[in-house]
Amino acid sequence: MSFTRTNFDSACKAYAQKYPSNHDDNSTHDELLARYPSGWSWKEHKLVPGLGYLARLALYPTHTPKQLSSEDVLGEHLQQAEADPAEASAAPDVLTCRQYVVFSSTFQVPAFYFSMHHKTGAPLTLREIVESPLFRAQTLPNTAMSTFALDTPDSAFAMLSQGDHPTLGTPCWCLHPCHTAEVVEEIIREVGHAESDRNLRWLEAWVMVLSNLVNFGAIGR
């Protein structure tokens, strides 16, 4: 199943409601958060209907102390961001990452867009992004890197490239969404779903797949 814009909007709104930033202490809910990161909010275009997207602010350490795991340090920064974003942004050695889930009209699936900046406001280079805690260690395949893209030898599309946010028009990096539908559909077939919540389950499966590559910091919070 490929998403329509209606499917996407419905799934994103349901996801933001199901996994809010300020969750309770219920252990079952916390287990879900470990698999499905919270902190997303639904944003609408101010003038044009049908261009909504999910947005999230995440803070990452520039350097990870050896005595702590990257997930522990990242979790601490994310807690600070949710408690007081202004105070957390003032902390030293913090990378600010604005993350988005947008609709790919070409591939009819969700797509992950992000921007990443130093404390000074300077954007990270591609190499700095690849080596940052945003991506899980050793999960990126063998790639050819330029200043503006990360290519894989077995694909006609760049795995990671620059592009404008489809709604905001601001410069971002984006993970190419090719093969997304096939992988997610395989998961959906394995776990099953109720037809009434198919859109949400599809997006949850997509997030779970993406979490194998992107470190959202749900663990250690």
Render the burial of 180-219: b for 16+ CB within 10 Å, e for the rest: bbeebeebbeeeebeeeeebbbbbbbbbeebbeebbbbbb
What is the reported pTM? 0.79
Domain ranges across the chain: 5-211
DSSP H helical ranges for the chain: 5-18, 27-35, 70-83, 85-89, 126-131, 180-191, 198-211
For residue 92, what are its two tokens?
A: 């030293």
pLDDT at residue 184, as a whole number? 87
Report angle CA 162, 141, 137 to the nearest 5 degrees: 90
pLDDT tens across 143-169, in order? 678 778 887 766 667 788 999 999 999
Amino acid at 104: S
pLDDT tens across 13-63, in order? 999 999 887 544 444 444 444 568 888 999 998 888 889 999 999 999 986
